[in-house]
Amino acid sequence: MNLEKNIGINFPEGRDTAFHLHPYTNPTNLADAGPHIISSGEGIYVTDKDNNKFIEGMSGLWCTSLGFNEPELVEAAVKQMRELPFYHSFTGKTSNPAIDLAEKLVSIAPNNLKKAFFCNSGSEANDTAIKMVWYFQASQGRPEKKKIISRKRGYHGVTLAAASLTALPYAQDGFGLPLDFVKHTSSPHYFMDGFEGESESEFVIRIIQELEDLIKREGAETIGALIAEPVMGAGGVIIPPKGYFEALQKTLDKYSILLIADEVICGFGRTGNMWGSETYGLKPDILTCAKALSSAYLPISGILVSSEVVGGIEKLASDLGIFGHGYTYSAHPVPAAVALRTLEHMEDRFILEHVSSISPLFVERVDKLKQFNCVGHTRAVGLIGAMEFVGIPHTRKKIDPKEKFSVKAQKLIQDAGVILRSLPGDAIGFCPPLIISENQINEMFDCIETVMPILDDMAYELGGKR
């Protein structure tokens, strides 16, 4: 059925298929099934136009950390709209929310990060981080250090440069990407990439050696930075093995390569600390953040820069007469006001302490999913996790990718009342709002578990034997 033809453009479903080109959507499937129209939200729940209520188990797109109707954030936006609905930060201009937010972010930043620059999305932030690396290296007399290393399965956005960092086919196929300045190294996904009989520590040694071999092959004098998510989100919620980041940081330091921490998903409490960098001991030279910065109520992102890097940037900008980079909406006063209130709210309501108190239950419920035959691996930290499907129990044997098993699983779980996300590698991600309660964690996973026996049967038919 084509909804545009059969329902008509007098209905929202038909109008959507007629006029709206969706991101990350199969147009044929959309034309046949129509859009899922969400009409309202409250706490961790959203309700669609047909009055079906769902637990939003992914915080939207890993982002709505404080839930879907926090009045303090709405009030912050309305107040700022009345006072000053827009001003820019070009040519030395600014606004009070921009000043306050920059100061606040620097005050909570890890590892000597001293200044903030503002954009509108995680993609823009990572794009800007690349340009900052190039600008800094040029300021040091090393303009040839332009290559950026990212990791397979990493997700860093979808602008031309950021999508080149993103090492997932769906973000590059058809676009002629990646651009040639990006080089990819192994991801720390021990479950799928570890050799038979290889321990986690041996796995870490091997993939760090692969990184060092890549650096030597390309020439350290040509490599400006490596970018890494503390926990790899859209690539499958891949949690690094013990010792991985310590070894990675030593390797980068050895070859004078900067570290960009992509905290777009991990920042602001998701892993149990304010930053994923704190959870895993990273010492970034540049840190990018977005999503939960404003609990996704308004678009805003930030780049936090070390004193060394910002010093080089400011010196070159002074020599050239201008730092020739920025966006019309950089440090827009309304999103900045909402972001500032978001950070204050996290402190006022002890959100980090709340995450620490409930994350053991969340991790336990994720781990419990291993009881089902179709689940080959589970992983979780803080309030982010995943289950990864296999065709044969207790193996790494996958169901044929053409079957799109995790997509089918996602649909069945949604029918049971929980919105989740299918991820590469036949995985399902979990990323509920940080305000979720213990009762709601149990409610969410109880709903998921009602579907798991059906998925076991499906996996048996498609993938192998029990």
Q: Verify that 40 and 118 share a domain, yes or no.
A: no
Q: Are residues 331 and 184 in the same domain?
A: yes
Q: Measuring CA to CA, how many Å separate 55 from each of 83, 388, 416, 446? A: 36, 21, 10, 12
User: Strand pairing of 301-306 and 113-119?
Assistant: antiparallel
In a domain, 78, yes or no: yes
How many structural domains comprise the chain?
2
Does residue 389 sit in the same domain as residue 312? no
Asked, for residue 23, whether it belongs to a domain, the answer is no
pLDDT at 466: 45
Domain identity same for 305 and 437: no
CATH number at residue 169: 3.40.640.10
The DSSP H or E segment spanning 195 is: none
Residues in the chain: 466
Question: Are the C-beta atoms of residues 399 and 463 closer than 8 Å to each other?
Answer: yes
309 and 438 housed in the same domain: no
Task: Give the position of tokens 């109880």.
Answer: 446
119 and 303 in contact (C-beta within 8 Å)?
A: yes
Task: Tell me, yes or no, whether 81 and 181 share the same domain.
Answer: yes
CA angle 188, 378, 68 (to 5 degrees): 100
Q: Within a domain: residue 434?
A: yes
Same structural domain, 205 and 329 = yes
Same domain assignment for residues 325 and 385: no
Local confidence pLDDT in tens for the 466 residues of the chain = 455 545 566 689 999 999 999 999 999 999 999 999 999 999 999 999 999 999 999 999 999 999 999 999 999 999 999 999 999 999 999 999 999 999 999 999 998 899 999 999 999 999 999 999 999 999 999 999 999 999 999 999 999 999 999 999 999 999 999 999 999 999 999 999 999 999 999 999 999 999 999 999 999 999 999 999 999 999 999 999 999 999 999 999 999 999 999 999 999 999 999 999 999 999 999 999 999 999 999 999 999 999 999 999 999 999 999 999 999 999 999 999 999 999 999 999 999 999 999 999 999 999 999 999 999 999 999 999 999 999 999 899 999 999 999 999 999 999 999 999 999 999 999 999 999 999 999 999 999 999 999 999 999 998 754 4
Note whether residue 30 is domain-resident: no
Distance in angstroms (rounded) separating the CA atoms of residues 431 and 234: 11
Assess if residue 16 is contained within a domain.
Answer: no
Residue 295 lies in a domain: yes
Widest distance between CA atoms in the chain? 68
C-beta separation of 68 from 56 below 8 A: yes
Residue 104 lies in a domain: yes
Q: Are residues 300 and 220 in the same domain?
A: yes
Which domain-ending residue is among 332, 348, 364? Answer: 348
Is 150 inside a domain boundary?
Answer: yes
Bridging pattern class, strands 375-381 and 384-389: antiparallel
Tell me, yes or no, whether 305 and 402 share the same domain.
Answer: no
Query: Which pLDDT value is given to residue 76?
Result: 98
**Residue 249: other Cβ atoms inside 10 A:** 18
CATH code of 44's domain: 3.90.1150.10
Closest to 215 measured CA to CA, from 186, 255, 249, 243: 255
Q: Which amino acid is at 251?
A: T
Q: What's the whole-model pTM score?
A: 0.95
Retrieve residue 324's tokens: 């020739």
Considering the domain architecture, whether residues 337 and 372 belong to the same structural domain is answered as no
As given in the structure block, the two tokens for residue 226 are 């490596």
Where among 282, 314, 348 does a domain terminate? Answer: 348
Structure tokens at 453: 């026996």
Half-sphere exposure of 119 (CA within 13 A, CB side): 21
Of 348, 380, 398, the domain-final residue:
348
Tell me the C-alpha distance between 75 and 66, whole Å: 14
Distance CA 273, CA 293 (A): 14
Shared domain for 232 and 330, answered yes or no, is: yes
Q: Which domain holds residue 399?
A: 36-69+351-463
